[in-house]
Amino acid sequence: MQEELILQVLPDQDKMRLDLLLTDHASHNNLGLSRTNIQKLILQGRVFLNSSPVIKPNHKVKIGQEIRVSLPEKESAGIEAEQIPLEVIYEDDDLAIINKQSGLVVHPAPGNREHTLVNALLSRFKQLSDINKNRPGIVHRLDKETSGLLVIAKNNDSHLKLSRQFAQHSIQRKYIAIVVGRTEFDEDVIELPIGRHPLKRKNMAVSFTENSKYAKTHYRTLKRGKDFSLLELRPFTGRTHQLRVHLASLGYPILGDTKYGKAGSFPRLALHAQEIGFLHPGTGKLVNFVSPLPQELRDFIKENIT
């Protein structure tokens, strides 16, 4: 059944832009509609003032006018729920924090719509955000072989508020990595743009072409062994494969990285998303979550890094 949103222009909203009024209403009522979503609805002729369609987002409204918004029916993505083991370390009405295991793909893709984290989420939770119907609940991602913390949105309002924090680079994230080689510096900042590899189209690379994107990573050396180093990584940006590409470009590929390092050197990528902190979308309070290193990483560190 098609939903309809109905409201009336109040005195303090006189002469407001239509898109701004609706965006403000959506935000205060946790409707999970961004300004871009609302502008699209207006341009599609789904917004009416006193029963007449208005197709200009900047239209100025008047006191007492009735606004009706015809919301589109939600489409089904056709993704099946699967009972895949999940470690949920925190959950409330707005979000959940998942400690993802290495080897689990985060979301379905063409030709691979099964055995992903999304399939598991659909089985585990009754409600997830559906801003992207092909990625319900997914606000950000980790590579398949990376383990660690992911925040999952249970509704669209939480999704938008979390996405905004990621876009503003205000989410605090810490990764732990084992890299091949002894790092030269105790700590440093890597600021190198990243783009598609010119030959290997499924790979990323440090690139200075016009299509590359700014990328910044801070690293700190925690320990050094004979042939390996243990690093703490804090990405400022979130480019595809950023940590892997940045470290490989310095000559310190992450242990077990078959794409940017040496194949067969370790049974998995030695990269773990250990900590994440952000403003809770429901309460506005700062929350922080920590995940212990997986046993296989702890064993390798004990044997190879003093």
Residue 306's pLDDT is what?
75
What the chain holds in terms of domains, given with CATH numbers, is: 3-71 (3.10.290.10), 79-168 (3.30.2350.10), 170-306 (3.30.2350.10)
Residue 74's pLDDT is what?
64
Residue 232's pLDDT is what?
98
CA 114: distance to chain centroid?
Answer: 20
Band of pLDDT at residue 198, cut at 50, 70 and 90: confident
Residue 33's pLDDT is what?
83
211-246: b (≥16 Cβ within 10 Å) or e: ebeebbbebebbebeeebbbbbbbbeeebebbbbbb
- Dihedral angle of Cα 146, 151, 154, 158, to the nearest 10 degrees: -140
pLDDT tens, position by position, 225-274: 999 999 999 999 999 999 999 999 999 999 999 999 987 789 999 999 99
User: What average pLDDT does the chain have?
Assistant: 92
Q: Taking the chain, what is the end-to-end CA distance rounded to the nearest angstrom?
A: 63
If you search the block for the tokens 């109905």, which residue do you land on? 6
pLDDT tens, position by position, 119-153: 999 999 999 998 888 889 999 999 999 999 999 99
Residue 110's pLDDT is what?
64
Residue 1's pLDDT is what?
46
Residue 131's pLDDT is what?
85
201 has a pLDDT exceeding 80 = no
If you search the block for the tokens 């950023």, which residue do you land on? 242
Residue 2's pLDDT is what?
52
164 has a pLDDT exceeding 70 = yes
Return the number of other C-beta atoms located less than 10 Å from residue 159's C-beta: 27
179 has a pLDDT exceeding 50 = yes
Residue 105's pLDDT is what?
92
pLDDT tens, position by position, 12-31: 899 999 999 998 888 777 67
To the query of whether residue 24 is one of the catalytic residues in this protein, the response is no
Residue 177's pLDDT is what?
98
The mean per-residue pLDDT over the stretch 181-185 comes to 96
Q: What angle do CA 71, 72, 77 make, to 5 degrees?
A: 135
Band of pLDDT at residue 183, cut at 50, 70 and 90: very high
Active-site annotation holder among 130, 143, 157, 257: 143
Residues 6+ apart with CB under 8 A from 296: 267, 268
pLDDT tens, position by position, 54-113: 999 999 999 999 999 988 766 556 788 999 999 999 999 999 999 999 999 998 876 667
